[in-house]
Structure formats: C-alpha cells, structure tokens
Amino acid sequence: MKTPLYYLRIYLSIVTQYIKAKLQYRTDFFISTIGMIFTNIAGIFPVWIIFHNIPSLHGLSFNEMLFIYCFSLLALSPLQLFFDNIWSIWSHLLSGTFIKYYLKPMNVMFYYMSEVFDLKGLSQVAIGIGGLIYASNQLDVQWTLLNIVLLIVSLIGASLIMISLMILAASTGFWIMDPWNVISLVNRFRDFAKYPVSIFNDFFKFIFTFIIPIGCIAFYPSQLFLNPLQDNEMIVFFSPLIGIVLFIIANAVWNKGINSYSGTGS
Amino acid sequence: MAMIRLENLSKHYKVLNRSEGLSGALKDLFSRDYRIVKAVSDLSLEVNAGEIVGFVGPNGAGKSTTIKMMTGVLKPTSGLLTVNGRIPTKNRAQNMQEIGVVFGQRTQLWWDLPVIESFKILRQIYRVDQSSYNENMNIFEELIDLKALYSTPVRYLSLGQRMLCDIVASFLHNPKVIFLDEPTIGLDISIKSRIREVIKTLNEHKQTTIILTTHDLSDIEALCKRIVIIDKGTTVYDGSIQKVSSMFGAHRTLKIQLPPAEYLALDQLATSVNGHFSQASAITMEQSEEGWIHFTINQDEVHLMDVLNYIGHHYPVHDIKIEEISIDKIVKNIYEGGLA
Ligand SMILES: Nc1ncnc2c1ncn2[C@@H]1O[C@H](COP(=O)(O)OP(=O)(O)OP(=O)(O)O)[C@@H](O)[C@H]1O
Ligand SMILES: [Mg+2]
C-alpha cells in the first residue's frame, strides 16, 4: 500500500523542480501573478462601492461581506494551486496523451494533477489571509484555539466542494471526450461562492444550499465565526462533511471514468 | 514459463457519434449512439520470459490496442490475458511496478524538467533503492551519453535523444516485461541502429521480456528471433523471423512513375511486362498514387534490373524508387499462401 507520505514526497520533488523551471520565465510569472491579484481585488470592489451608499445589505455589513469573500478566496485556493491541470484535460483526452497517466504505479488522479502547480495562486492565498485578518479585526472575531481549529477544518471541507465539482465536470470527458464546455460551466459557480447566499432569491438560495452546495464553500462556514456559535443553523456545522462526501463521489466517478476511457487510435 | 499469455483476446471499441456544444456534451453523456470498431479479435499468443518478440502488421491491425490491453490501460472485451501472472487491469498500480512501457511519439519524462530530474523522480515513484539506481545509471551512461543531456530540459531533446532516454528510463526499475510501441518511428537510420543496440544490450543484461512493434522489418531482423504478424486483429503468422526473411528477403518493390499521358496505358504495361518475363508469378503489379506503379519482384526468380531495363526501354519513365518489401505486401502474400 502506498502511504500519504509516499505521495507527499513525490509531490514535493515534482513541484520543487517545476517551480525551479517556471522561475526561469520570470516575466511570465510576474504578469500572471499581477493578473491574479487584480482579479481577486476586483471581485470585492463592487461590494465596496455599494457599501459606500448603504450601511448594510440583507443584514450584512461591509466587513462581514469582506470576511465571506476572503474566506472563499482561501477555500478556492487549493483548487487553484493543486488542481489547475483540470483545464488541460480536454487536450489530453482528445489527443490520447492521457493514457500516459495510467502507466505509473501511482494513483492516476494524483499523477495527473501533480503535473501542474499554479504558482500564481499563492497570491490568492496571501490576499485571502490579509483580508481575513483585517475583517476579523474590524468585526472583533476572537481567534481562540477552538476557532482556529474550526477555521482550518471548515476551509479544508469547503475547498473539497469546488474541487469535487470540477473533478466531476472533468470526468465527463472520459465519456464525451471534450469536457471543456462542462468545465467552464461548473467553473462559473466559483463566482457565486464569493457572495452571501442570502442575497439571492429563494429559488437560488435553495439551489445553492441543497442542489449545488455553493453556499457551503464560504457563506455558511463563515457564519461559524460571524455569529455566536449557538445561534447558527445546523447546515453551518455540516459544511465540511458535505465536502468530504462530495469528494468521495467525485473520486468514484473519476475512477469509473478512467476504466471506461479508451483513448484514441495510434 | 509463459510471461505473457493471451487467449482469444478481443477488443471492440465503442465509438460515440459526438454532438456539438454544451447541450451536445450533456446529451452525449447519456447517448446510446455508438459505432463498434473491432480492433482485436480472438488473438492468442504466448511469450516466454526473456524473449524479444516483434509484433508487426499494417496500419490499424490492432498492435497498439493489444499493447494497451497488455499494459492494463484498456480492459479486454472478452478473452483471457495474464502478464507476469497477473490480470493487468485488476490491480493497476501494482502491475505497473513490474512492467515498463514506451509509446513511440509520446514521452513519459517530465517535459519541462531536466533529464536527470526525471530519472530522480522515477526512482522515487518506483522506489528503486540507491544501489540499483546507481548501477542502472552507470549502465545507461555506458550505452548512451546520458551525462551530456543531464541538465537539458526534455522539451529541448531531439526526437532520437528523447527516445533513447525514454527507453533506458523504462528499464530503471528493473521490470520483468517491457512494451515498446514503435520505438523507432520517425527516426533516421543511425539513431535507429543505436536504439536497437540499446534494446539488445539491456535485454541480454537483464533478461527482460520485450514486446516490440514496428513498421520496419529490419528492426525485427536485428532484435528478434520470433515475429508475430497480425492483420485485422488476428494473427496471420507466428514463427521465426528467419523463415519470413528467407521467404521475402529477396523481394523488392520497384516503384516507377510515368508521365500523365501514359496513365491509360497501365493495363497494356502489365500485359507487356508479364508477356516478356516467363516467370510472371514472380512479379506483381499495382497502381498507387498519381502515376506511380509498384512492382513487387522476387529476385530469386527475376532480376530487378532486367525488369527496370525492359520498362525503361519501352516507356518514358519519369522517376524510380527501389524499396524493401513492406509489411502490407508480406501480409498480402501470406494470405495468398506465401508462408504456408
Ligand atoms: N480509442 C479508439 N477508439 C476507436 N477506435 C480505435 C481506437 N483506437 C484504435 N481504434 C481503431 O482500432 C483499430 C486498431 O488500431 P490500433 O491503434 O490498435 O492499430 P495499430 O496496429 O497500432 O496501427 P498503427 O500501425 O497505425 O499504429 C483501428 O481501426 C483504429 O482506428
Ligand atoms: Mg499503433
């Protein structure tokens, strides 16, 4: 049996080498990082404008919105950092190069995803942490040990939600060959995760809570820290569990997919 | 001991008739609109430990499909298959630990990383201990000038250099079986012969069982005692390469191009050539692309030069080429009883 340590070691060697190689193209790295920073800041800008005129929206203050936004940036970072190769899967499937990932004594998903580490995503982590500290200072969130543990657990669970949805989207490619359209569609959910579910109407609130649990990425788990613990709805505590269950499903579908993918001729 | 065993192995591909766009993609997920391609049908084969078997056949014969099944990438539609005593698709990761694979045009090294880093990562992946790693790297170093390439990223290697690196890398974890799917495709003669040498030396040194596909019969002649010829997914010949060589070694393909005005005279050309040479069965003729005519000539019976002289004398020949007999022609000959 291969231990997590085995995979961690291999991941680290591949990523270290990969970063070394990437840093040889410094301009490319700087430009893409700056682009990423702009995108992430631009997302909160409209909220800031709105709050210039009104003090609260659906009972949320600007700082609460900022907290949720930055929580989402952090929860979406693992997807950005470790799973960015999802975006290339269509070309590997169509050209048949995907079969290479079957040929090593390793987990196929691990091998595939290990080939890309998205360096520019680190800026998203930095903005997320910075914004979260600022907002929690303004809001007087107490960072007790319990809260820090809760934060880490809920971030891991939350990150698994979008990762799983994207893996499910990518897995469709094993049957339909070109999953680009499906992946782009699912990727748009990412944007909804950044804002409070409460600003949507009841229909979307229902969808984003129970059907495609986007609300569990940032809005619900954030409530753990924004409200006194006992005032929360049950869903707030379930959010990490939803991530884990979704990931188990996504992994199973992926595995079914790699067994039915038949490559291309030659 | 049989290292590889195939019994009535078949693979039928289901090819989806795809639709366009996002709605098409969603529709395809549930579509039953399939076409069936029978790539491999009832193929049986046994390969012993330490053997090198040349696996040949015309384009689309099912060679790569068979290799993909033997490596555990594809699940057979029916039939039995064991490699090294295992069912390849059953425990894929464990199976991969004991085999090596190289697919012609596609590298398995890390594209952006220097060559030596790929070897180091492979060492970790296969958990090769330091002493066998060093030992193997020394062997590789003697065979190919690996050190000179150490710091070059794989993407900057020439096709031949990359192929050499890919081949030696497939031996790094001392696998019991290695599958090489067209290791010499697209390479010039000098690199081809180096690749053959590397494969031969490593096979002798490590007693690795090797299955190799190619379109170049001279690869097989240089490396294998045994050749398996398949066509349309089934075996048409399985035996010594010597028999094939002695049967077809004297065959040459003479290609002749005539100017457009002479196209129509083809039938007449055939009759005239056949009429002139009494051993007509030794010459077969067929028309190919734009103005080219291919004569397959058995030199044991008719001299190619005599045929060329005769045609050159009576027709305005534009251009000529002389080639060894192709796999396709051999297969055709076998069907006509050539190797019976
Ligand atoms: N993934 C696939 N889906 C559908 N059909 C396929 C697929 N792969 C191969 N085929 C078809 O199966 C047949 C056998 O293909 P295969 O690649 O095994 O042939 P091959 O002997 O390796 O040929 P070549 O010498 O050209 O490499 C061909 O008709 C090919 O078009
Ligand atoms: Mg092939």
The string of pLDDT tens digits covering residues B136-153 is 999 999 888 888 888 899
Tell me if B68 and A99 make a contact (CB, 8 A cut-off).
Answer: yes
Q: For ligand 1, what atom is nearest to the CA of residue B64?
A: 22
**Looking at residue A98, what is its pLDDT?**
94
pLDDT for residue B169 is more than 70: yes
- ipTM of this predicted structure: 0.86
Please compute the mean of the pLDDT values over residues B298-326 and round it to a whole number: 85
Residue spans of the domains in chain A: they are 4-260
**Minimal Cα–Cα distance from A165 to chain B, Å?**
15
Q: Which of B327, B142, B302 is nearest to B221 (CA)?
A: B327
The pLDDT mean for chain B works out to 88
Distance from the alpha carbon of residue B59 to the mean position of ligand 2, in angstroms: 7
Nearest chain A residue (CA) to B25 = A176
Q: Are B327 and B57 in contact (CB under 8 A)?
A: yes
Q: Report residue A266 as tokens.
A: 């030659």
Q: What is the pTM of this model?
A: 0.88
Task: Give the per-residue pLDDT at A231.
Answer: 67
pLDDT at A229 over 70: no
Among A251, A83, A85, which Cα is nearest to A168's? A251
pLDDT at B263: 62
Rounded alpha-carbon distances, angstroms, from residue B282 to B10, B302, B309: 36, 7, 17
pLDDT-derived band at A224 (thresholds 50, 70, 90) equals confident
pLDDT at B18 over 60: yes
| Closest C-alpha to ligand 1, atom 7 | A265
User: B271-298 burial, b if ≥16 CB within 10 A, otherwise e?
Assistant: eebeeebeeeebbbbeeeeebbbbbbbb
* Ranges A31-35, A229-233, B207-211: which has the least confidence: A229-233
Tokens encoding A36: 């990423």
Q: Does domain B4-9+41-245 have CATH number 3.10.129.10?
A: no
The continuous run of DSSP H or E covering B8 comes out as strand B2-16
In chain B, pLDDT over 70 holds for what percent of residues?
Answer: 97
* Contact B189/A at CB under 8 A: no
Average the pLDDT over B85-114 and give the result: 91
Pocket flag, ligand 1, residue A95 (CB < 6 Å): no
Helix residue spans in A2-96 (DSSP H):
4-22, 26-53, 62-82, 89-95
Centre of ligand 2 to C-alpha A266, Å, is 4
Whether pLDDT at B166 is above 90: yes
CATH number listed for the domain at residues B250-324? 3.30.70.100
Whether A18 contacts chain B with CB within 8 A? yes
Query: Who wins on pLDDT, A219 or B109?
Result: B109
Average pLDDT over every residue of B119-125: 96
pLDDT band at B338 (very low <50, low <70, confident <90, very high): low
Chain-chain contact of A179 with B112 (C-beta, under 8 angstroms): no
Question: A104 and B125 in contact by Cβ < 8 A?
Answer: yes
When pLDDT is averaged across residues A92-98 and rounded to a whole number, the result is 92
At B42-55, the pLDDT tens digits run 999 999 999 999 99
For residue B181, the CA-to-ligand 2 centroid distance in Å is 7
Query: For residue B68, which residues of chain A lie inside 8 Å, CB to CB?
Result: 99, 263
A55 lines ligand 1 (CB under 6 A): no
| In the predicted structure, residue A266 carries a pLDDT above the cut 60 | no
The pLDDT value recorded for residue B203 is 94
pLDDT score for B297: 86
